[in-house]
Amino acid sequence: MSQYDNFGIDGTEFLDNMDVCPAIAFYLLYRVTSLLDGRRLVIFMDEFWQWIGNPAFADFVYNRLKTMRKLNGI
């Protein structure tokens, strides 16, 4: 991911599967937020309501959003 200026992830295949969605979503958020190094980073998530359907993931995202802005992420 870090070698590209732009990239996309299509969640169509896993967003409706609550058995695997939280694990994949946590991993992807971990990978994307590991790119926060002070350079501007824009994260756009289509159908975000599906991503935060899992309460644990929603809490994680809420807390991570607070720190992302400090690292120039939006």
Where do the structural domains in the chain lie, given as residue ranges? 21-71
pLDDT tens digit sequence for 52-63: 887 877 888 888
pLDDT tens digit sequence for 1-11: 667 778 888 88
pLDDT tens digit sequence for 14-43: 888 888 888 998 898 888 888 888 888 888
Place of tokens 């599967």: 17
DSSP string, 19-69: TTHHHHHHHHHHHHHTT-SSS-B----TTHHHHTTSHHHHHHHHHHHHHHG
pLDDT at 1: 66
pTM: 0.71
